[in-house]
């Protein structure tokens, strides 16, 4: 399931069906597992995954302010995806780099010493890139 999650960024129901059949695991169990563990998502996720560390150290250093800012500015709370399908915000509990918190992970890239203003800048940049890409494609 981890492999499927990595490939698609989410778990499509068909994939779970397949897993259930292949591994001979009953569907209710698969479903419970898929909803129990946080890495799994049953909904398609955005193009960019933003993971905000809400570990203690980051919390103490103000991660909550960033979370609030993201939800206010971009309308996404933890576990949600922006309407344009670009960003999904996720909450993680400690990425093991507490010394440089708060940490925002953008598509697997760790960004330390995050602030509300820097977070906005990151999103702005990614948005611009997306628009440019669209323009290029068009």
Partner 1 sequence: MEETNEKLVKLTIDGIETEARKGETILQVAERLHIDIPTLCHYRFVKPYGACRICSVEVTIRGKSRFVPACSYQVRDGIEVQTRSEEVIQHRKMLLELMMARHSQVEVVRKLAHEYGVDTTRFEEMPSEGCILCGLCVRVCSEVVGANALTFVKRGTDRYVSTPFEGKADTCIACGACAYVCPTNYIKVEDIRDRKYVFSELSLGPTTPIHIPFAAAIPGIPVIDSHACIHMQTGECGICSKVCEPDAINYEMQDTFEEVDVGSIILATGYKTFDPARAEQYGYGRFDNVITSLEFEHLSHASGPTGGAFVKADGSEPKSVAILHCIGSRDKNYNEYCSRVCCMYSLKIAHLIREKVPDADIYELYIDMRCPGSGYEEFYNRLLEEGVHFIRGKGVEVSQMPTLATTTPAASNSKLYVKCEDTLLGMPRELPVDMVILSVGLEPAEDAEEVARIFKINAKGDGFFMERHPKLAPVDTLSDGIFIAGCAQGPKDIPDSVAQGAAAAAAAVSLIDAGEVALEPITSVVDEDVCTGCKTCLVVCPYGAITRDEEKGVAVINDALCKACGCCVAACPSGAISQRGFDDTQIEAELAALLMS
Partner 2 sequence: MPKLGTIEQVKRFQEKCKTALDKFPLVVSLCHGTACCAIGAKELAAAFEEALNGEKSVKFIKSGCHGFCEVGPLVVVRPLDVVYQRVKPSDVPEIVERSLKKGEVIDRLLYRPRGNGKVYAKEEEIPFYAKQSKVVLALNSRIDPYSIDDYMAYGGYGALAKALLEMTPDEVLQEIVDARLRGRGGGGFDAGRKWKGCRSAPGERRHIICNADEGDPGAFMDESILEGNPHSVIEGMVIGAWAIGGTDGFIYVRNEYPRALRAFSNALKQAREYGFLGENILSSGMDFDIKVSRGGGAFVCGESSALFRSLEGDVGEPRAKYIHSVERGYHDEPTNLNNVETWANVPHIINRGAKWFRSLGTEDSPGTKVFSLVGKVENTGLIEVPMGITLKEVIFEIGGGIKEGRDFKAVQTGGPSGGMLSQSQLDLPVDFDVLTEAGSMMGSGGMIVMDEGTCVVDVAKYFTDFLIEESCGKCLPCREGLMHMSRILHRITEGQGEPKDMESLKRLGDAVAVASLCGLGTSAPNPVLSSIKYFEDEYLAHINERRCPGRVCRALISYHIDPDTCTGCGTCEKVCPVEAIQPVAGEEREEGLLRIIDLAVCDKCDACREVCPEEAILVESPAIALEHYRENVTEKR
Footprint of partner 2 (CB under 8 A): 2, 23, 25, 29, 32-33, 36-40, 54-62, 65, 68-69, 72-73, 92-101, 103, 108, 110-113, 115-117
Binding flag, residue 30, partner 1 (CB under 8 A): yes
Give Cβ neighbours of residue 133 (< 8 Å, ≥ 6 apart): none
Q: Which does 130 bind (CB under 5 to 8 A by kind): partner 1, partner 2, none?
A: none
Binding flag, residue 27, partner 1 (CB under 8 A): yes
Binding flag, residue 21, partner 1 (CB under 8 A): no
Q: Which does 123 bind (CB under 5 to 8 A by kind): partner 2, partner 1, none?
A: none
Distances (CA, A) of 96 to 32, 37, 56, 126: 28, 19, 11, 25
| Three-state SS sequence of 59-108 | HHCCHHHHHHHHHHHHCCCCCCECCCCCEEEEEECCCCCHHHCCCEEECC
Sheet holding 87-92, edge to edge: 87-92, 48-53, 104-106, 109-111
Binding flag, residue 29, partner 1 (CB under 8 A): yes
Binding flag, residue 13, partner 1 (CB under 8 A): yes
Binding flag, residue 14, partner 1 (CB under 8 A): no
Give the interface with partner 1 as residue ranges (CB under 8 A).
13, 16, 26-32, 35-36
């Amino acid at each position: 399931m981890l492999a499927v999650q990595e490939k698609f960024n989410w778990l499509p129901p068909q994939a779970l069906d397949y897993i259930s059949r292949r591994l001979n695991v009953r569907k209710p169990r698969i479903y419970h597992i898929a909803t129990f563990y946080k890495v799994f998502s049953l909904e398609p996720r955005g193009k960019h995954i933003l993971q905000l560390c809400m570990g203690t150290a980051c919390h103490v250093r103000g991660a909550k302010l960033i979370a609030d800012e993201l939800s206010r500015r971009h309308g996404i709370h933890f576990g949600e995806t922006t309407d344009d399908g670009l960003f999904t915000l996720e909450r993680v509990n400690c990425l093991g780099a507490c010394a440089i918190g708060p940490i925002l992970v953008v598509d697997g890239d760790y960004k330390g010493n995050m602030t509300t203003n820097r977070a906005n800048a990151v999103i702005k940049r990614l948005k611009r890139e997306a628009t440019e890409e669209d323009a290029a494609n068009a």
